[in-house]
Structure 1
Amino acid sequence: MTSGDLTRRNLLRTGGVLAAGATINLLPEVAFAAPSTDAAGATGTTEQTKTVTGTFTPSIADWYYLPVQVPRGVNQIDVVYSYDKPAVPAGTRGNACDIGMFGPEGHQLGNERGFRGWSGGFRDRFSISASEATPGYLAGPITPGTWHVILGPYTVAPQGLNYQVTITLHFGPQGKPFKPNPAPLTAPARQRGKSWYRGDAHLHTVHSDGRRTPPELVAAARAAGLDFMVSTDHNTSSSALQWGDHATDDLLILNGEEVTTRSGHWPAIGLPAGKWIDWRYRAGDPSDFRRFTEQVHKVGGLVTAAHPFANCFGCSYEFAYEIADLVEIWNGPWTDEDQQAVNHWDGLLRAGQFIPAIGNSDAHNPEQTVALPHTVVYADNLRREALLAGLKAGRSWLAESSAVNLSFTASADGRTAGIGERLKAEIGTPVTVEVAVSGVPGTTVTILDQLGKEYTETVPETGSATIRWTTYPRYSRWVRVEVRRASGGPNTTVPNAMVAMTNPIFLGQD
């Protein structure tokens, strides 16, 4: 069976539906016949297979939907796909195509009930049944109706992208229903009441394009000295339904999703177990972005602008910053892209737009270090609501490892404010800024305000230091701290690499 060449010109001929503000690009339907049964009602058919081939040209849309008519009696769907990867000249993008699945409940934008899984370009096959599903997909009954395989031509070579999709339906009784087991809401062994808690809020498993299994990620997070972690697999909620199988009493596991669009990535963190956020829009559709960020906020989650200057197609953040709750200015080992993010974030801060900074490892593979970096947040307790409140308020600082410790305060007239807080003082009142660090040998500590670097001291070889500097609200609207290592260090070859940094303390009456 062949779907033929697809361009925007012939979309309508193949079932494409073009509507204001939305495009639903349908490929030719794949129909399966209901199996015949004998007088006792038994079916003699155990499976049926059909294959579709076609071509995407470079001038195509982001998403295509392959309708699959699933008859009664099916208990498992298997999908295998492939596409060619012709050689392309240097500087030209080659072929890459993502894949996922929607059930008969629908595949319209935002249809959470219809979503049945996503693996992007990480897998070439998946299976779904009532009892189990390939990681990234949701187990559940195979109900009759029109299912849709979603194909996302991520990049297309000048020669075009030739694809093949094979669908196999298995017939028989539905298996035992899958029972979700979300993560516990507490981690009592790490609970310290009001305290500073370390967490990595951008992590991946085999449920998307990571190579760590859930128990392997838990082990890595515990070894890194974290109090909490956020699972943020790309475009799917499947792992959130299984974290209870791997949870421990000394690590709080929060749910999230790295919403991976063609205009950038924005992790939604602190979602209820099983909550899925749609990703099928671009920055040119601002109402769609706002619609889904509002969904995140409605359920108590936060929106992160991830790795804003990542140098890969669809990775850099192109959406409105003012809608985000957090900006991930440090992602993995320190690079020039992180410095660009800090510069941009600092520019927003100077312009009066404070979006708290966050740092995460974005670790995918065992070779990538969990908690390099991570965020240390002050919270009333080690629970989802308290941690998210601390992050949203900017009561946090960033560190390359749990060996790094930092405290930062500003004081005047007997009053003291900490990170993310405001110290109310008249413009002529002297303000004493104090920074204490440990675990940071070979570094320098710099205090900055809206004018840039104001005061720097070198940390002795002991790795510990206490630095004080005096300013006035007349001159400094806010102050923040950076700890850097001139040599780069063991985790990066980039000089002047970040080791720790804080969100600001604000000075003045308002």
Structure 2
Amino acid sequence: MTTLRGTLAPGSPDYVYLPVEVPPGTGELKVSYTYDRPTVPPGTPGNALDIGLFDRRGVELGGRGFRGWSGGARAEFFVRADDATPGYLPGPLDPGTWHIVLGPYTVAPQGLAYELTITLTEGESGPSPRPVYPPSRAAGRGRDWYRGDCHLHSWHSDGRRTPAEIAALARAAGLDFINSSEHNTTSSHAHWADAAGDDLLVLLGEEVTTRNGHVLALGTEPGTFVDWRYRARDDRFGRFARRIREAGGLVVPAHPHATCVGCAWKFGFGEADAVEVWNGPYTPDDEVTLATWDALLVASVKDNRAWLPALGNSDAHRDPDVVGLPQTVVLADDLTREAVLDGLRAGRSYVAESRNVSLAFTATAAGGRQAGIGERLAVPDDTPVTVRLEVSGAPRCSVRFVTDQGVLFSSGPLPVSGEGAVEWLTTPAYAAYVRAELRHETALGPVPGALAAFTNPVFLGRR
């Protein structure tokens, strides 16, 4: 057993690497740690210290030696050939220099004093488990609208639920697919197979949690690790965005305007495939993100370039977080990983607060040509276009049609049945795109109510 002590001052490097010599014949490596939590003045961050592990293959950026990360969720962990603490990868304990990585998330003005206890136990190195991953296909309904939640945390990072518990909640929420997105680790990937089934597609990914924002690696190949140890000023994010896409996944900045330390997105949206506009229960930072996203839509129209689809996810960690609040509803050719990602990438989707809310949103030109969510109705600028929204499951909600000029149409509340249809007549010259919002009632006058649902846009006119 070895004890390491040290103190980190304010302004310490983001990551500190402590070498550990692992001798031949080691059967288990166990680490426990503590650190001081002094009282600090109001408004001043206190101490918070994350932890992880790299093996003898090294700590170079890219993660070849990565063996696990628990952030600040656990005070101890172990790694063996046949098993490991959630968040860590089982496998051989090859002799050589390993490294414990410390991440001082925040440091109090007094500094952060830590103590680590490292226990190396001799023993036989048992066989490492062969990972079994969930299938990339479930029993779908052909081309249809499928409901999903792409931002979820289990006990493999800072969540408190098992994969089985999350899957049960997903089924209860009426979801057809989910995405595993643990902070900075892929350890859960091999633990989802039993939770998946013909009725639930489980995609695999990671929430890449940097010091300048979080990004979902959504639907990557099983076992794909994406490093997180960089800031926006390092100009390295593009390399890891390509890593996500090369692994078949989508690059989705998460909660871009969240107020927690290090959560706000600082990398820009040039490398993004979509953006998480609505995260968990609707709050003011979601409203800011919605406005930011709408400005990006306007810029895409102005510059005649690709646009960025929006998603909504629960980011559920533990009770009472609600899985499927909100959920993204995507038009996909089938319930497969490839088809769902294609639909999300194309923006053929809307976001709803629950399974109760369903939308149908179309734009129809004189003569019958029609386009749906995420599509373009390519007609001359002076062509009359009827925009129609059909709603169910949204009692007393108001409807707003938002364009590149802002809100150009709004209706009174839907009946208590929650069902209704709203139409608006426009032209491509007047509206380059139209998207729909469903808003709850509010007592604050001109301030809009919380979202019940919103769509990706329908684009009008020829490019």
* TM bin (shorter chain): over 0.9
Alignment partner, residue 159 of structure 1: 110
Q: Does the residue aligned with 1:473 lie in a helix, a strand or coil?
A: coil
2:63–2:226 contact (8 Å) kept in structure 1: no
Q: Following the alignment from structure 1 to structure 2, what is the Cα–Cα distance between the partners of residues 53 and 334?
A: 43
Alignment of 1:189-268 (within 5 A): 191-268=140-217
1:181–1:245 contact (8 Å) kept in structure 2: no
Q: What displacement does 1:386 show? A: 0.9
What amino acid does structure 1 have at the position aligned with 2:127? K
Q: 1:139 aligns with which of 78, 85, 90?
A: 90
Alignment of 1:70-469 (within 5 A): 70-112=22-64, 114-188=65-139, 191-286=140-235, 288-352=236-300, 354-412=307-365, 413-457=367-411, 458-469=413-424
Q: What displacement does 1:232 show? A: 0.1
Q: Following the alignment from structure 1 to structure 2, what is the Cα–Cα distance between the partners of residues 399 and 136?
A: 31
Q: Does the residue aligned with 1:466 lie in a helix, a strand or coil?
A: strand
Q: Does the residue aligned with 1:339 lie in a helix, a strand or coil?
A: helix
Q: What displacement does 1:495 show? A: 6.4
Aligned residues: 453
Alpha-carbon deviations, 1:441-485, whole Å to 9, x = none?
A: 010011111111111122111111111111011111000000000
Q: Following the alignment from structure 1 to structure 2, what is the Cα–Cα distance between the partners of residues 285 and 387?
A: 33
Q: What displacement does 1:249 show? A: 2.0
2:401–2:407 contact (8 Å) kept in structure 1: yes
Q: What displacement does 1:272 show? A: 1.1
Instruction: Provide runs of 4+ in structure 1 moved above 6 Å.
Output: none
Q: Following the alignment from structure 2 to structure 1, what is the Cα–Cα distance between the partners of residues 252 and 355?
A: 22
Q: What displacement does 1:497 show? A: 0.5
Q: What displacement does 1:178 show? A: 1.6
Q: Following the alignment from structure 2 to structure 1, what is the Cα–Cα distance between the partners of residues 417 and 172?
A: 24
What amino acid does structure 2 have at the position aligned with 1:328? E
What amino acid does structure 2 have at the position aligned with 1:325? D
What amino acid does structure 2 have at the position aligned with 1:219? A
1:201–1:229 contact (8 Å) kept in structure 2: yes
Q: Following the alignment from structure 1 to structure 2, what is the Cα–Cα distance between the partners of residues 59 and 498?
A: 40
Q: Following the alignment from structure 2 to structure 1, what is the Cα–Cα distance between the partners of residues 26 and 41?
A: 45
Q: What displacement does 1:299 show? A: 1.3
Q: Does the residue aligned with 1:245 lie in a helix, a strand or coil?
A: coil
Name the TM-score, length of structure 2 as normaliser: 0.96
Q: What displacement does 1:436 show? A: 0.2
Alignment partner, residue 491 of structure 1: none
Alignment of 1:9-88 (within 5 A): 49-88=1-40
Alignment partner, residue 303 of structure 2: none
Give 5+ residue unaligned stretches, structure 1.
1-48, 489-493
Q: What displacement does 1:241 show? A: 1.3
Q: Does the residue aligned with 1:370 lie in a helix, a strand or coil?
A: coil
Q: Following the alignment from structure 1 to structure 2, what is the Cα–Cα distance between the partners of residues 435 and 245?
A: 39
What amino acid does structure 1 have at the position aligned with 2:42? A
Alpha-carbon deviations, 1:196-231, whole Å to 9, x = none?
A: 110000000000000111110010000000000001
1:64–1:150 contact (8 Å) kept in structure 2: yes
Alpha-carbon deviations, 1:6-39, whole Å to 9, x = none?
A: xxxxxxxxxxxxxxxxxxxxxxxxxxxxxxxxxx
Bigger relative contact order, structure 1 or 2, given CA contacts below 8 A and separation 6+? Answer: 2
Q: 2:441 aligns with which of 483, 486, 499?
A: 486
CA RMSD in angstroms comes to 1.1
Q: Following the alignment from structure 2 to structure 1, what is the Cα–Cα distance between the partners of residues 270 and 458?
A: 20
**Greater radius of gyration (CA):** 1
Alignment partner, residue 18 of structure 1: none
Q: Does the residue aligned with 1:322 lie in a helix, a strand or coil?
A: coil
Q: Does the residue aligned with 2:150 lie in a helix, a strand or coil?
A: strand
Q: What displacement does 1:106 show? A: 1.1
What amino acid does structure 1 have at the position aligned with 2:251? V
- Deviates most, 313-322 or 231-240: 313-322
Q: Does the residue aligned with 2:157 lie in a helix, a strand or coil?
A: coil
Q: Does the residue aligned with 2:270 lie in a helix, a strand or coil?
A: helix
1:187–1:248 contact (8 Å) kept in structure 2: yes
What amino acid does structure 2 have at the position aligned with 1:433? V
What amino acid does structure 2 have at the position aligned with 1:318? K
2:312–2:328 contact (8 Å) kept in structure 1: yes
Q: What displacement does 1:369 show? A: 0.3
Alpha-carbon deviations, 1:173-198, whole Å to 9, x = none?
A: 1123222121122222xx01111110
Q: Following the alignment from structure 1 to structure 2, what is the Cα–Cα distance between the partners of residues 503 and 93?
A: 38
Q: Following the alignment from structure 1 to structure 2, what is the Cα–Cα distance between the partners of residues 290 and 122?
A: 28
What amino acid does structure 1 have at the position aligned with 2:74? R
Q: Following the alignment from structure 2 to structure 1, what is the Cα–Cα distance between the partners of residues 45 and 98?
A: 31
Q: Does the residue aligned with 2:4 lie in a helix, a strand or coil?
A: strand
Q: Does the residue aligned with 1:348 lie in a helix, a strand or coil?
A: helix
1:259–1:279 contact (8 Å) kept in structure 2: yes
- Deviates most, 211-220 or 352-361: 352-361
Name the TM-score, length of structure 1 as normaliser: 0.88
Give 5+ residue unaligned stretches, structure 2.
301-305
